[in-house]
Chain A
Amino acid sequence: QKEVEQNSGPLSVPEGAIASLNCTYSDRGSQSFFWYRQYSGKSPELIMFIYSNGDKEDGRFTAQLNKASQYVSLLIRDSQPSDSATYLCAVNMRVGYALNFGKGTSLLVTP
C-alpha cells in the first residue's frame, strides 16, 4: 500500500504568522509532488508543485522536498484568514499519472 501521510490537524496559526504543513510518502519511486488547497465543499486547487530536492518559492508559498527522507512540506508566510482550508499533499510516479492523496491538513488562520 503506497501511503501519503499528513497530520489531520487542525493547525491553528495567528494572522501574519508562518504556517508549516508536512507530508511523508512511502513510495521511493515517487517523482512528482503537489500541494492542493481545498475549501469546504469545493474541489482541490493547485497551490504548488515540486519535482526536485530543495526549495521552490512562489509568492507567499514555499514547497520543500527531501527525497532521501521522503518528506515534502509547504510553508505559508504572512498567513491570512483566507488561507484557512484543507491542504492536500499528493504524489505520483510521473507527471500525467494519477495522484495519490494524503488525507489533508486542516489549517485555521485566526485574525
Chain B
Amino acid sequence: GAVVSQHPSWVICKSGTSVKIECRSLDFQATTMFWYRQFPKQSLMLMATSNEGSKATYEQGVEKDKFLINHASLTLSTLTVTSAHPEDSSFYICSASPGGPQHFGDGTRLSIL
C-alpha cells in the first residue's frame, strides 16, 4: 500500500529554534500534501495544503510566516516551524494520497522547552 514517511519522529529543542519536518511519499508522486496539527486529546486540525511547485494554502489562523512550507518535488514536502515557542509544542502529521484515501505519516512530536 501507499507509504508516507515523516522525519523526524521526535524533536525536543529550546525556545527560539527553527525546526524542519520532512514528509515523503515513498512509492507514489503527490502534487498535494496536507499538514495537520494535533494537540493532546484533540482531533487533527488542518494547518495547510502543500502544493508542488506553488505556494502553500494556509488555513485561517495559521501564520504562514511561522510555518513555512516547501513542496519542491513530487515526493517531498517540508514544514519549518520558525522561532518555535512552547505553545507550538504539538503532534504534527502530514498526509498524501496516490489517488483515493489519504495516508498519514507517522507524525512528528515537537516539544519546545
CB–CB B100/A43 < 8 A: no
Q: Is residue B32 within 8 Å, beta carbon to beta carbon, of the partner chain?
A: yes
List B contacts of A95 (CB < 8 A): 97, 99-101
CB–CB A43/B93 < 8 A: yes
CB–CB A96/B99 < 8 A: yes
Given contacts A42-B107, A43-B93, whether A49 and B43 have CB atoms under 8 Å apart is no
Q: Mark B80-105, 1 if CB is under 8 A from A, else 0.
A: 00000000000001010101111111
Q: Mark A15-47, 1 if CB is under 8 A from B, else 0.
A: 000000000000000001010100001111110
Smallest CB separation, B98 vs chain A (Å)? 10
Q: Is residue B42 within 8 Å, beta carbon to beta carbon, of the partner chain?
A: yes
Binds B, one of A52-60, A68-76, A77-85, A97-105: A97-105
CB–CB A103/B107 < 8 A: no
Docked pose: A20 CA to B103 CA in angstroms: 24
CB–CB B101/A34 < 8 A: yes
List B contacts of A46 (CB < 8 A): 101-103
- Chain A: interface residue total (CB-CB under 8 A): 20
List A contacts of B49 (CB < 8 A): 98
Q: Is residue B44 within 8 Å, beta carbon to beta carbon, of the partner chain?
A: yes
Q: How many A-B pairs fall under 8 Å by CB?
A: 47
Q: Is residue B68 within 8 Å, beta carbon to beta carbon, of the partner chain?
A: no
List A contacts of B102 (CB < 8 A): 34, 46, 99
List B contacts of A104 (CB < 8 A): 43
Q: Is residue B46 within 8 Å, beta carbon to beta carbon, of the partner chain?
A: yes
CB–CB A43/B34 < 8 A: no
CB–CB B44/A49 < 8 A: no
CB–CB A99/B46 < 8 A: yes
Closest to B57 in A: A98
Q: Is residue A88 within 8 Å, beta carbon to beta carbon, of the partner chain?
A: yes
B residues near A (Cβ < 8 Å) are 6, 32, 34, 42-46, 49, 93, 95, 97, 99-107, 109
Closest 9 CB pairs of A and B: A43-B107, A103-B43, A101-B43, A43-B104, A101-B44, A49-B101, A98-B46, A98-B34, A43-B93
